[in-house]
Structure 1
Amino acid sequence: MPIIKGEKREQSIKIRVTQKEKDRLIELKTQDELASWMRELALKQNPIKRADPNLVRAIGRIGSNLNQIAKHANTTKELDANTLAAINRIETLLIKVINQYKGDNDAC
């Protein structure tokens, strides 16, 4: 139930929670503002899960490594054993990062 353009939120709802509950809500929220997240959750809208910054950085590093390998392969027009080994290490790291994010430790 998205807000209609020009429509103002003038009503408020007050709830009481314990400090532990508040901390947990803040930990679980997927938006900057707790109120926005709770409103979307309560109105059964599917909030977009915020990407873990550590995951984004890890994938960025992996992408940089792949770009370096691609540049090397395009420049030399060949893939030597060291380059293939680097690709295999990157693939292993990517699988590890994905499994860590998914919360399981099994390899794909």
Structure 2
Amino acid sequence: MMNCIKKVTRTEYIQLRVTKEEKQQIFANANGNTSMWLRAVALSPNTCHAKARYKIFKQDPALIRHVALIGNNINQIARHINSVKKSGSLVDLVAVQAQLVLMNSQLSTLIQQTP
């Protein structure tokens, strides 16, 4: 008995620009097969959990933009700390941690206030 599964030949491609952090997050979410995961998410949008979460906050795009900017700043801080540590310089980790705790608290307050 022969296998009756027909192989699909894909001849088209879509190019997408992302940041390094977004690329890493996509690869992490894909869990090994990025093409298959992206295809599944894009072709079945009603089953995508990320889209459902986005709809909750879609009412306030300014809030989403500001939270994204805060996340970007946190990534820059982490990148700077890692580069300073690699160079052998001292970093005041206690002060940095205190600022991160403060930002986390402020973000939690914003999230609780969002309808």
Q: Please give the TM-score of this superposition, normalised by the length of structure 1.
A: 0.40
Q: Please give the TM-score of this superposition, normalised by the length of structure 2.
A: 0.38
RCO higher in structure (CA 8 A, sep ≥6): 1
Structure richer in helix, relative to its length:
2
